[in-house]
Amino acid sequence: MGMTKYVIRRLLLVPVILFGVTILIFGVLQFLSPAERSALYVRDIPKNERALDGIIRRYGLDKPIYVQYWRWLVGQRDPVTGKVVGGILRGDFGYSRTASEPAADLIKRRFPATLELALWSVIPIIGGGIWLGVVAAVNHNRSIDQVARVFSIVGYSFPTFVFGLLVLMIFYAHLHWFPPGRISDWAGRVISSPGFRTYTHLITIDALLNLRFDVFLDALRHLILPVITLAYLSWALLLRVTRSSMLEALRQDYITTARSKGLRERDVIRKHALPNALIPVATIGGLTVVGLLNGVVITETVFNYPGIGSAAARAALQLDVVTILAFTLFNGFILVIANLVVDILYAYIDPRVRLE
């Protein structure tokens, strides 16, 4: 019952936090001129001053700020066409100049690629990072601990683009094993053919559902280098946090008591030390997953991977403010939901959190 009440309290906070996120992003919009904000409603901003003034009045961009906020939130009826335009609650984030399509369509088209990369990366990142940290802590000051610490320091200090270019040069330019991009041209033609059914827009999963194992292996080859890059650079932080948290847990009195009762060392680690060491690890792990879902800009750019991160980088280079703010709003939503999941995970790991 305590867990249920805790989850309900956290769920009730989500709309309030999301409302605050929309206020902040709309506040950023106010730094733009009414002409620039008109991209929220029209595709082509007219250069003629009289036509531009007409659009500003037509969509109320000269109205008080609270009126503009409400219309941006729920939309408004176009006085000329009679259609409802705008409204982020309706999924209308404006028009993307860089992609020549609505920003919402750009997010829908790019997010499956980012989600697929995140799903293939999260297991080696979280599982590998925690395992390495536990092994290092259990073997404190031994050779394996020293190697893990050097491994962590090197990975933590390695710039993402340097490591990405390094593995790209070795495994693609030299060995020709793992190509960049998301899929090969021949596999792309298979996916776009009438006989291939799209279920999830995640190529590896759809390929398995269509029993096209050749397409699955091709998509997997393209994922290996980005996953290696993300995993190694994320392991560095997770390893350090897990190691320090485990060392602190292993020094507690309840660990000494458990050992004095004759419990096997494996059970002491798994049942007593690890659950108490996972709370700070859950925070880092949650933020890591959020970073993956928000689009890893550098990694996607280095490997020419068509996800949200590379699209956001392109929009930033072309000063496409509407698209950037659409990505920001989407990322804010993901962050709020991820924080909710991490809070629930806290309560599951440590029941004392529910009583606070």
What is the reported pLDDT for 16?
86
pLDDT score of 84 more than 80? no
pLDDT score of 194 more than 70? yes
* End-to-end Cα spacing for the chain: 15
CA-CA distances (angstroms) from residue 60 to 53, 74, 132?
11, 14, 57
pLDDT score of 220 more than 90? yes
Distance between CA atoms of 240 and 163, rounded to whole angstroms?
Answer: 19
For residue 84, the cross-strand partners are 77
Residue 216 identity: F
What is the reported pLDDT for 269?
79
pLDDT in tens, 11-43: 888 888 888 888 888 888 888 777 777 777 777
Distance between CA atoms of 282 and 348, rounded to whole angstroms?
Answer: 11
What is the reported pLDDT for 295?
61
Mean pLDDT taken over the chain: 82
pLDDT score of 171 more than 80? yes
pLDDT score of 190 more than 60? yes
Exposure string over 130-145, b if 16+ CB within 10 A, otherwise e: bebbbbbbbeeeeeeb
What is the reported pLDDT for 352?
59
**Higher model confidence: residue 85 or residue 163?**
163
What share of the chain in percent tops pLDDT 70? 96
Residue 330 identity: F
Confidence of residue 231 (pLDDT cuts 50, 70, 90): confident
pLDDT score of 198 more than 80? yes
Instruction: Let me know the angle formed at the C-alpha of 70 by 291 and 47, rounded to the nearest 5 degrees.
Output: 85
Extract the tokens encoding 20.
């605050």
Extract the tokens encoding 48.
């003629």
pLDDT score of 353 more than 60? no
Confidence of residue 223 (pLDDT cuts 50, 70, 90): very high
CA-CA distances (angstroms) from residue 163 to 226, 233, 270, 288, 298?
10, 9, 34, 18, 11
pTM of the model: 0.83
Extract the tokens encoding 153.
């320091």
The CB-side HSE value for 127 (13 A sphere, CA atoms) comes to 6
Extract the tokens encoding 293.
């879902």
What is the reported pLDDT for 141?
81
pLDDT score of 154 more than 90? no
List of residues 6+ apart from 310 with CB closer than 8 A: 110, 295, 297, 300, 301, 304
Exposure string over 324-349, b if 16+ CB within 10 A, otherwise e: bbbbbbbbbbbbbebbbebbbbbbeb
Confidence of residue 124 (pLDDT cuts 50, 70, 90): confident
Quickly tell me which residue has 């190691």 as its tokens.
243
What is the reported pLDDT for 205?
93
pLDDT in tens, 42-76: 777 767 777 777 878 877 778 888 888 888 888 77
Confidence of residue 350 (pLDDT cuts 50, 70, 90): low
Q: Domains of the chain (ranges plus CATH)?
A: 2-96 (no CATH), 105-355 (1.10.3720.10)
Exposure string over 157-176, b if 16+ CB within 10 A, otherwise e: ebebeebbeebbeebeeeee
What is the reported pLDDT for 218?
93
